[in-house]
A and B are shown apart, each in its own frame.
Chain A
């Protein structure tokens, strides 16, 4: 984790970002007070259940917020410069050249009527201003890079398996040599063996091309395999972040702990997985205080009234009253 680039400006900084979605006059906050930094070449996992705001966070970074989304506060900086993430046209030069997205290629993210080589070559022609033949040559290179014989480029998406389509999606994401690649559940629709292959490929490409990787997933095992650092989101906020090793060994937030305990582990001899009790929070009408308190086994009186701030704890951060008080107590004890 300690390398020279750490001292320089981070590649990407997200600062107190809040995004609202307006729907028929009702506005709901999708993410709130989201702050983090991403260094070049770093792999960060963004984990949370459906509706936790992980996709909104990633789409905001990529400048792909939908028209009914509004950035109500905060900003995103790329190499120190503020990104116009709420301006569709102004974000266009940034897209794919600096930040690209690996969508669930196994689903419908590839256009069914175009050959895959053409789809990979397209951003090379439009963004890198390559000629058709240069772009085609580049697309063939990219296919080989992700382990697909270049001659398969003449295939249409439906002629490929799910894993192959995901590789095509990755090749496409690398077309304009971006410095950040966002993986939006890139392995969700794949079987475990293909999933492992895709994660391995992403890991290799990351070190080879010095890519920063943001992996959105609800699957902690994917993060454990592919990431250096992980951020846990709950109800639109980051509740904990830290290194993968740290978080798996010593989860600090009760939600993180329950999340890790809910992973089935055949080796431990546990027969049943332990689900987290309760339901995900309502985004329009959030619980007061810490949004997790109605489901939290360690909830205290203060949890229902005060939103915990994301404070430094060990090498990472955690937003939980439990740790704020224990830390204060410790400070008090030392004094």
Chain B
């Protein structure tokens, strides 16, 4: 058991290191370096000497490997992700931390709703496979699964915001004075409703499909015949024998999706102008703000590696065969 955990941890650390290296390489193979990018926007013309001086100042004249890479890795390890181009002088880490809560609230809430609804619906459909409920649930979730979340978001805005005017379709807060904290909360929840729905609907389809497949596999297993022969009722068979086996692939999916809670829903955030990581990513992309993008990519990679780590460990707890 502990040897398995040890090897999982080592694997995670190696993967993280590779993510960091790739992150470094990716932004160095893009044409143009920070000096030319920054100085080309200057109003007065820039001489070659000024450019060279700037390069030397930032250490860009030194070889990429190993000097610059070692610099990058050691700075990253110390929590220094550099400065943003767009938001001049601001730390990348500060920018990300500022935007992170909004994304975690949005995607976390959407995940929670999707897991509760999707997994239960999928398990039910798999248990009663071939029934009317199964056909409806499977059909609807396949449709949702294959619909882009940002398109769902736009449709939701058109219906509930533009046409009906029930809910705000833009931002996280209404402009103007907020009198009490209760008003603030209600206003925030109102702004959350549509983006959360858009993200959750897309995720529900995924959970239904996976949970249904897992459950319908379990139903045909020999140990379910044994359970029936033992005189168990349908409910006892479901709760005692089917559920835990069917949850194995579902738990893997849930923990893997945890990684994307941080990464956010870039397109949905863009549609709703949600002030989260997704919005920041789009802004940074438009402004070619490489340090910010680099920071976001690192966060994304790290959270997915951590999610994989949790999935591996959780699987070991649920399934004695992999311990």
Chain B residues closer than 8 Å to A100, beta-carbon distance? 229-230
**Which one of A93, A113, A126 has the highest number of Cβ atoms from chain B below 10 Å of its Cβ?**
A113
Contact in complex: A158, B226 (CB < 8 Å): no
Of B5-13, B297-305, B315-323, the segment with at least 4 beta carbons within 8 Å of chain A is B315-323
Determine whether B178 belongs to the interface, using a CB cutoff of 8 Å to chain A. no
Which of A96, A111, A156 meets B245, CB within 8 Å?
A111
Partner of B233, one of A92, A94, A111, A172: A92
Contact among A89, A94, A109 with B226 in the assembled complex (CB-CB below 8 Å) = A109
In this assembly, does B4 line the interface, its C-beta being within 8 Å of a C-beta of chain A? no
Interface positions, chain B 212-239, Cβ under 8 Å from A, are 221-223, 225-233, 236
**B241: nearest residue on chain A (CB-CB)?**
A111
Distance (whole angstroms) from the CB of B241 to the closest CB of chain A: 5
Q: Which of B225, B231, B236, B321 is A156 in contact with, Cβ under 8 Å?
A: B321
Contact B226 A110 (CB under 8 A): yes
Q: Does B288 contact A (CB under 8 A)?
A: no
Q: For residue A64, which residues in chain B have a CB less than 8 angstroms away from its CB?
A: 225, 228-229
Given that A113-B245, A113-B318 are known contacts, is A96 also in contact with B230, CB under 8 Å in the complex? yes
> What's the Cα separation between A286 and B214 when bound, in Å?
38
Query: For chain A residues 88-108, which have a beta carbon within 8 Å of chain B?
Result: 89, 92-97, 100-101, 103-104, 107-108
In the assembled complex, the Cα of A278 lies from the Cα of B129 at a distance in Å of: 39
A127 within 8 A of B: yes
In the complex formed, the residue of A with least CB distance to B218 is A111
User: Which residue of chain A has its CB nearest to the CB of B233?
Assistant: A92
Knowing A96-B231, A112-B245, A127-B231, say if A122 contacts B240 (CB, 8 Å): yes
Q: A64-B225, A96-B231, A113-B244 are in contact. Are A126 and B236 (CB under 8 A)?
A: yes
- Of A107, A108, A110, A172, most buried by chain B (CB within 10 Å of CB) is A108
Interface centre among B227, B241, B320 (most CB of A within 10 A): B320
B54 to chain A, nearest CB (A): 62
Q: Known contacts A103-B226, A109-B225; is A97 also within 8 Å of B231 by CB?
A: yes
**Whole-angstrom distance between the Cβ of A94 and the nearest chain B Cβ:** 8
Which residue of A93, A96, A113, A114 contacts B229 across the interface (Cβ within 8 Å)? A96
Are B221 and A108 in touch, CB under 8 angstroms? yes
Residues A95 and B229 in contact, CB atoms below 8 Å apart: yes
Secondary structure at chain A's binding surface: helix, strand, loop or mixed?
Answer: loop
Q: Report how many A-B pairs have Cβ atoms within 8 Å.
A: 69
Q: Mark A133-171, 1 if CB is under 8 A from B, else 0.
A: 000000000000000000000001010000000000000
In the complex, chain B residues whose CB is within 8 Å of the CB of A254: none
CB contacts (< 8 Å) of B227 on chain A: these are: 111
CA distance A96 to B233 in the complex (A): 13
Q: Whole-angstrom distance between the alpha carbons of A95 and B229 in the complex? A: 6
Chain B interfacial residues counted at CB < 8 A? 21
Are B230 and A123 in contact (CB-based, < 8 A)? yes
What number of A residues sit within 8 Å (CB to CB) of B? 28
How far apart are the CA atoms of A123 and B240 in the complex, in Å?
12
Closest residue of B by beta carbon distance from A105: B226
A123 touching B226, Cβ below 8 Å: no
B231 to chain A, nearest CB (A): 4
Contacts of A111 in B (CB 8 A): 223, 226-227, 241, 245
Docked CA distance A301–B136 (Å): 57
Contact A126 B231 (CB under 8 A): yes
| Complex Cα spacing A103 to B221, Å | 12
In the complex, the answer to whether B321 meets A158 with C-beta atoms within 8 Å is yes
Q: Is the CB of B244 within 8 A of A126?
A: no
A31 proximal to B (CB < 8 A): no
Asked if B223 contacts A156 (CB within 8 A), the reply is no
Q: How far is the CB of A272 from chain B (nearest CB, A)?
A: 36
Contact B222 A112 (CB under 8 A): no
Digitize A270-313: 1 where CB-to-B-CB distance is under 8 Å, 0 elsewhere: 00000000000000000000000000000000000000000000
Whether B236 lies near A103 (C-beta < 8 A) is no
B222 contacts which of A95, A103, A113 (Cβ < 8 Å)? A103
Structural contact, A95 and B223, CB atoms closer than 8 A: no
Q: How far is the CA of A113 from the CA of B323 in the complex (A)?
A: 11
Write the chain A residue with the least CB distance to B227: A111
**B232 and A126 contact, CB distance less than 8 A:** yes
Where the two chains meet, the residues of B that have a C-beta atom closer than 8 Å to any C-beta of A are 221-223, 225-233, 236, 240-241, 244-245, 318-321
> Mind listing 15 A-B residue pairs with CB under 8 Å?
A64-B225, A64-B228, A93-B231, A95-B231, A101-B226, A103-B222, A108-B222, A108-B223, A111-B227, A111-B245, A113-B245, A123-B230, A126-B231, A126-B236, A156-B320
Given contact pairs A96-B230, A110-B226, A126-B231, enumerate 18 new A-B contacts (beta carbons under 8 Å). Answer: A92-B231, A93-B231, A95-B228, A95-B229, A103-B225, A104-B222, A107-B222, A108-B222, A109-B222, A109-B223, A109-B226, A111-B226, A112-B319, A112-B320, A126-B230, A158-B320, A158-B321, A172-B226
